[in-house]
Chains A and B, each alone.
Chain A
Amino acid sequence: MSESMHEQRRSSSQDATTEVEPSESTRAEELRDELDDLLDEIDEVLETNAEEFVRSYVQKGGE
């Protein structure tokens, strides 16, 4: 990214944040970060061969 574009982004984001309640934007950021961390965790623990895992999961009917 060129320096002038980078400066443009920074100044425009500064303009945006001065309009918003600090608590709202930090809370929204917190939630996004939480969700990002959660997605990272899902990537780690999700079955590696999802196709096979899902395909092979069959149950007998119960009540």
Chain B
Amino acid sequence: MAIVKVCGLETEYGIVVRGVDSNPVTASSLLINSYLADLSSVGFDVESERPGADARGRELSWEPDPDVDSLLVNAMLTNGARYYVDHAHPEMSIPEVADAREAVVWDAAGDAIVRRSMELANRVLPDGAEVVIHRNNSDGKGNSYGCHENYLVDRAVPFGLVVRGITPHFVTRQIFTGAGKVGSERPGRTTDEVGYQITQRADFFEEPVGLETTVKRPIVNTRDEPHCDPERYRRLHVIVGDANMSEMATFLKVATTAIVLAMIEDGAMPANIELADPVADIRRISHDPSLRATVEMADGRRMRAIDVQWELLAAATTWAQRHGFDAVAGEEVGALALREWEQVLTGLDTDPERVADVVDWVAKRRLIEAYAARHDLRPGSARLRAIDMQYHDLRPQRCLAARAGLRRITTDDEVRAAMTDPPGSTRAYFRGRCLSKFGDAVVAANWDSMVFDVGSGPLRRVPMNEPLRGTESMVGNVIDSSSSAGELLRRIAG
């Protein structure tokens, strides 16, 4: 029986500081600390002469300070997200959500928080200097960083079955989830061979399954840190995807993956779509934007990536008719997912230009090819690489994706609200509301527990092992009507 696909996204952002010397760890810390300082500065006028003065008494600085023992900022926000420095990148992990559409809303809010952070950090930097953030996965020089997805899966399903079932989708979904890239970072491949490819990340995957995330990256990651009841649940940690600028692409990425995982749990996967060599295939498909490349199946047939996706969609349609959409949080989102999945495949199979409003690699290629034609540029030339990068630039005045006519699935109002409000559908609600209303009493906030100081007696630890408890419908009223953390804890314990 498929369980509700509680899910989340973690995005590592590219970061550079222009106009002043800095290292990425310091820059990332400045970025996040600027945002946190602004949040905590109730009544503090950030337009005043000392914008670097944090109300908590610390000066924000872009310069590495040897006396500060740890610059590795790590904060839980009132929307339930975690905002932190990881491996020299600022990283945003959105709160747990119950469906793909909520994932897009809180993901967009994450970007909005990062943009706000950029504005605030720039006030601390010297005149003319600025922090530049990219929502991408590759610097074009052999270094990669991820946009990870997480999905709640029934622990009772053998992991081998999950690997076998999900691999074909991970390898072929790139035809609508890929964010596109000029050139290749495989040793020996030149831009004459790979002028433009479908994904940012495919070049970096070397294993079918494994624990690594920073080298020899595996298509299916075996990390097993559920952050919830380990007897009942697995958190599938997915590292294979690109970060998307298109909201619809993010929606499709999360929704289709949730559906395929639910099908695996329900034993509803089509037979015979196992790939013979997924590692070679993920690159072969990525390097062929014509979408004609075929891959060998375990049974010897050859299929195009899009044919594998058509089979998955057909199986999903049958599965939904039989089991309904409970596992993907309901009819509305589930039916939308199937409709949009079919539409994007139809578009790709007819003329990819038709889905330039949904698929990032198509939208980006359209800009690059038209620009190359207008200025008579060779593939791989600097200006085309600059377009590739600037597609992902989060500065509003520079972002090319924002100008490419991509379809929205969120509204500005709900994204703005999601910067501070948690989703009502998961335990993130409890976390976010407590941080907002009883922040002073919160000693620690983790994914699966919180620790409170209620003013007297020992610290109180509240376990949060069930992702679907602590929702708005379960705890909204008691939080609203409690005037202290102590009162809240008494009432939910009773």
Which residue numbers of A lie inside 8 Å of B, CB to CB?
Answer: 34-35, 38-39, 41-42, 45-47, 50-51, 53-63
Contact = CB atoms under 8 A, between A and B. Distances in A.
A24 to B, nearest CB: 14
Nearest to B237: A63
Given A35-B366, A50-B382, A57-B140, A63 B387 contact: no
B404 A59 contact: no
A39 B15 CA distance: 26
B367 A62 contact: no
B403 A62 contact: no
Interface in B11-56: 12, 14-16, 24
12 contacts: A42-B367, A42-B403, A45-B397, A50-B386, A53-B389, A54-B389, A57-B14, A58-B139, A60-B89, A62-B146, A63-B87, A63-B213
Interface residues of B, number: 40
B214 A61 contact: yes
B15 to A, nearest CB: 8
Given A45-B400, A46-B386, A53-B389, A63 B371 contact: no
Contact of A60 (B88, B91, B389, B397): B88
Contacts of A53: 382, 386, 389
B145 A62 contact: yes
A50 B382 CA distance: 6
Given A50-B386, A62-B88, A38 B14 contact: no
B385 A38 contact: no
A47 B386 contact: yes
Contacts of B389: 53-54, 57
A59 B371 contact: no
B141 to A, nearest CB: 6
Contact of A62 (B16, B86, B387, B400): B86
B61 interface: no
Nearest to A62: B145
B271 interface: no
A10 B371 CA distance: 28
A32 B15 CA distance: 34
B143 interface: yes
A63 B370 contact: no
A51 B389 CA distance: 12
B374 interface: yes
Interface string B136-159: 000111011110100000000000
Given A45-B398, A50-B383, A61-B145, A38 B89 contact: no
A34 B141 CA distance: 33
Contact of A54 (B89, B386, B398): B386
Given A38-B404, A42-B367, A54-B385, A63 B24 contact: no
Nearest to A45: B398
Nearest to B223: A63
Majority secondary structure, A binding face: helix
Contacts of A41: 403
A56 B87 CA distance: 19
B239 interface: yes
B140 A54 contact: yes
A46 B375 CA distance: 13
A6 B216 CA distance: 63
A4 to B, nearest CB: 31
Contact of B143 (A34, A46, A54, A60): A60
A45 B145 CA distance: 26
Contacts of A35: 366, 370
B164 to A, nearest CB: 24
B386 A62 contact: no
Given A34-B405, A45-B398, A53-B389, A62 B382 contact: no
B465 interface: no
Given A34-B405, A39-B370, A62 B139 contact: no
A63 B143 CA distance: 10
Contacts of A58: 139, 141, 143
Contacts of A62: 12, 86-89, 91, 143-146, 214
Given A54-B140, A62-B86, A62-B87, A39 B371 contact: yes
Interface string B347-390: 00000000000000000001100110010000000110111011
A38 to B, nearest CB: 6
Given A50-B385, A50-B386, A61 B87 contact: yes
Contacts of B88: 59-60, 62
A39 B374 contact: yes
A39 B372 CA distance: 10
B390 A59 contact: no
Contacts of B144: 61-62
B71 to A, nearest CB: 14
A46 B24 contact: no
B179 to A, nearest CB: 15
